[in-house]
Amino acid sequence: MQNIKWNHFEEHLQTLMREENIPGAAVAVSQNGEVIYQKGFGVRDIITKQRVTPDTIFGIASITKSFTAMVIMQLAKQGMLSVNDPVTNFLPEFKLHGVEDLTSIKVHHLLSHTTGLPPMKRREELNKFDEHLEYLATKQYELLGEPGEYFSYCNDTFLLLGAIIERLTGRLFRRYVTEQVLTPLSMNRSTFSLEEVSKFHNVSVPYEWNAETEKLECCSWPPLGNYEVGGGIRSTVIDLLKYGQRFVNGSSNDASILNKEDLKEMWNPVHQVGRNTFYGYGLRMTPHYSNLTLVEHGGSQPGVSSHFGFVPEKQLVAAVLTNGSAVPVSEIWLTAINTALGLPIEQKRSIEPHYDASLQELQRFVGTYRTEEQGELTILLDGDTLKAESDGRQFDLRASGPDTLVMKNKDEPIRFFFKNRKQPWAALFGSRMFRHSEIDVVKN
């Protein structure tokens, strides 16, 4: 493994960085606890031209969710909670519009994004959990379905795990996670604090690509507020390798950190989110990948695209961090994993089949789908070709089944839900359910 040639990977990454306007990226891979590859690419600051290194600090965004889930599993092992406990056991003021039996929503549903809530308008100005509980209690929305019926990213319910941690421990969420995970793992260049970020050297500047001016534009670190529970850590690829070792290596003498056997529940499949991919607790898993298991999670914020994961059978851990928005960092991560495993660099998690859809079938998908958190997804029919528009970009589509379209350039599926209707009432795009704008009421 030490003699792996990474030239092909580096050529692929550098081509992708040019095509996707990625200013800087850091990649690191370890196996059996030893770093086998680490390198920085591009710049952390386009003005000063300072280069990225493996120690450059980036935002990790939603990779943070697995840290929060790890602490919940730690509290479960200590007997302070069970994932099957109702949320109201710990947050008695928890209320959701349209839910008659609040005890039906368990900690399990928060961890797995299966509460039934749609993506909601972000309220980053809310900095205390009781403020967010009030927001959830008074916000009007339409549920996607019963708890456990659908998967859809909902940061506003995931962050309640932070409130539970604070209620049970009497400590601020960020301090408790720092003391229980970051500090014991010697993740010394990782922090929730923007003040600390400003004091570190070798910190990336976040950038977004402006398609109109065709230039990278600097953006500020988002303050996040309560959303730090699911996206607030800033870190390095080297620190993330230390974190990954906890999932793939043996037992620990430190009782505050769970052993790998305790952590396996985090990637047990809870809900299918792709053709061969499932979501667990703050982690995704793809079984049967060349007879191995991929466990991973990505993240995205303004000026941040991140990906982290591991192959438990091979004690292989990889992390990729960039300072660009909405870039294909998941692809970079998988090519690094493939390179380390000696697999074809272009191998995918799964292959979407080709489905010969009739014009009538294609017409059913046409429409605009919306979510409060991430705007719109519009499906258009141009002759006999479907196209998708989202976030100012247009993608050609093909069908891979009667309920699934695929973005040709990324080979990523968009799954549609019909519920005995001629038109779909919702689409699972990325990790979020987008509701059809012309269908107002969904019957369970």
**DSSP per residue, 177-216:** HIIIIITTTT-TT-BS-HHHHHHSSSBPPPEEEETTTTEE
Task: Give the mean pLDDT of the chain.
Answer: 93
Q: What local confidence, expressed as pLDDT, does residue 342 receive?
A: 95
Q: Is the pLDDT of residue 441 over 60?
A: no
* Cα dist from 247 to 259, 295, 337, 413, whole Å: 7, 10, 16, 29
Give the whole-angstrom CA distance, residue 73 versus residue 68.
9
The type of residue at 138 is T
Phi, psi at 121, each rounded to 5°: -60, 130
Q: CB of 259 within 8 A of CB of 77?
A: no
Residue listed under structure tokens 């006999």 = 384
Confidence of residue 5 (pLDDT cuts 50, 70, 90): confident
Closest alpha carbon to 144 in 118, 170, 106, 108:
118
Per DSSP, what are the bridge partners of residue 37?
29
Q: Is the pLDDT of residue 252 over 70?
A: no
Which range (334-343, 344-353, 386-395) has the least confidence?
A: 386-395
Q: What is the pLDDT of residues 310-347, one digit of tens each?
A: 999 999 999 999 999 999 999 999 999 999 999 999 99
Q: What is the pLDDT of residues 29-42, one digit of tens each?
A: 999 999 999 999 99
Q: What local confidence, expressed as pLDDT, does residue 3 receive?
A: 52
Q: 3-state class of 159 per DSSP?
A: coil
Domain residue spans of the chain: 1-350, 359-436
Q: CB of 388 within 8 A of CB of 378?
A: yes
Please give the CATH architecture assigned to the domain spanning 1-350. Answer: 3-Layer(aba) Sandwich (3.40)
Q: How many separate helices (H) and strands (E) can be counted in the chain?
A: 13, 21
Give the whole-angstrom CA distance, residue 85 versus residue 38.
42
DSSP letters along 237-273, please? HHHHHHHHHHHHS---S-TTS--HHHHGGGGS--EE-
Give the whole-angstrom CA distance, residue 366 versus residue 80.
49
Give the whole-angstrom CA distance, residue 31 versus residue 317.
6
Confidence of residue 443 (pLDDT cuts 50, 70, 90): very low
Q: What is the pLDDT of residues 76-123, one digit of tens each?
A: 999 999 999 999 999 999 999 888 899 999 999 999 999 999 999 999
Which residues have a Cβ under 8 Å from the Cβ of 93 and sit 6 or more positions away? 130, 133, 137
Q: What local confidence, expressed as pLDDT, does residue 444 receive?
A: 35
Give the whole-angstrom CA distance, residue 428 versus residue 4.
38
Q: Is the pLDDT of residue 442 over 90?
A: no
The type of residue at 433 is M
Closest alpha carbon to 338 in 346, 327, 328, 326:
346
Q: What local confidence, expressed as pLDDT, does residue 257 receive?
A: 64
Q: Is the pLDDT of residue 422 over 80?
A: yes
Q: What is the DSSP letter of 86?
A: B
Q: Is the pLDDT of residue 408 over 60?
A: yes
Q: What local confidence, expressed as pLDDT, does residue 79 receive?
A: 94
H/E run at residue 434: strand 432-436
Q: What local confidence, expressed as pLDDT, does residue 212 receive?
A: 87
Residue listed under structure tokens 């209690």 = 137
With b meaning 16 or more CB within 10 Å and e meaning fewer, what string describes 156-169? bbbbbbbbbbbebb
Give the whole-angstrom CA distance, residue 353 versus residue 411.
10
Closest alpha carbon to 406 in 379, 382, 432, 424:
379
DSSP letters along 299-337, please? EEETTEEEEEEEEGGGTEEEEEEESBSS--HHHHHHHHH
Supply 47's token pair: 């003005």
Supply the Cα-derived Rg of the chain in whole angstroms: 21
Beta strand pairing call for 58-59 and 375-382: unpaired
Q: What is the pLDDT of residues 222-241, one digit of tens each?
A: 989 999 999 999 999 999 99
Q: Is the pLDDT of residue 67 over 50?
A: yes
Give the whole-angstrom CA distance, residue 102 versus residue 94.
8
Indicate the CATH number for domain 359-436: 2.40.128.600
